[in-house]
Amino acid sequence: MLRKKIITLILLFTSFSYTLLAQSDAKAVKILSKVSENYKNLNGFTGLFEYSYSTEDEGLIQTNTGNVTVKGDKYRLTLNDQEIFNDGKTVWTLIKSSKYKEVTINNVEDDADELTPSNVYNIYKKGYISKLTGSSEINGVAANEILLTSEKPNARFKKIKLYVDKVKNEILAWEIRDDVGGTFKYTFKELNPNVKIVDDYFVFKASENQDVEVIDLR
């Protein structure tokens, strides 16, 4: 009986200790709350960003630029040969190459593990532990470094690092580590806040793209 009580106490203590360790850093949460509030109050914003992929073994492998427009839960993302339209209900993924053009249509799913241009400012609220890990400079701007670690062992993104402007509380860059040891980094080169954008901008118009093959998966 005594042995069972001791084991029970050990399990309770271990569980309690894990809960304490798993708590987010109050300083990190305070910064991220300001970031979230800032973006929630915007009509919308547009940005030019640089994105790169690197690995520990090979170093920098690829660098490119893209454009993004965000309004609430809507966004439009333009990359080299791909454009994504998301109006909050439907997502259109347009692929353009020298050989073909096609757009795939899907319903937007409420996936807490998905990281998009419209939820990167709130992702810390969805099953991540936030820690203020230090500071650095992004394009000459002083930034707080905040590491988000997933509480789920099977999460799509185990770790996300955010770089937040110390003065403006804006996200300057973020890094995502994949499951093979590579790192994606996105860095804003230009950011135009509080831009008015019509909702129609986030909808792909098939009538204006008749040369594009449509694949509707809804």
Whether 9 is in a domain gets the answer: no
Residue 7 lies in a domain: no
**What is the C-alpha separation between 42 and 195, in angstroms, rounded?**
8
In a domain, 78, yes or no: yes
Is 204 within a domain? yes
Residue 1 lies in a domain: no
Residue 93: both structure tokens together: 């993924």
The answer to whether position 89 is within a domain reads yes
Measure the CA–CA gap between 158 and 164, rounded to whole angstroms. 20
Q: Is the pTM of this model over 0.85?
A: no
Domain of 92 in residue numbering reads as 23-216
Decide if pLDDT at 203 tops 80: yes
Q: What is the pLDDT of residues 9-57, one digit of tens each?
A: 333 333 333 333 457 789 999 999 999 888 888 889 999 999 898 888 8
Tokens 């084991």 -> residue: 7
Beta-bridged to residue 46, according to DSSP, are 69, 192
Count of the separate structural domains present in the chain:
1
Domain assignment present for 18: no
Whether 112 and 95 have beta carbons less than 8 Å apart is answered as no
Domain harbouring 206, CATH code: 2.50.20.10
85-125 pLDDT per residue, tens: 999 999 999 998 888 899 999 998 765 556 777 778 788 88
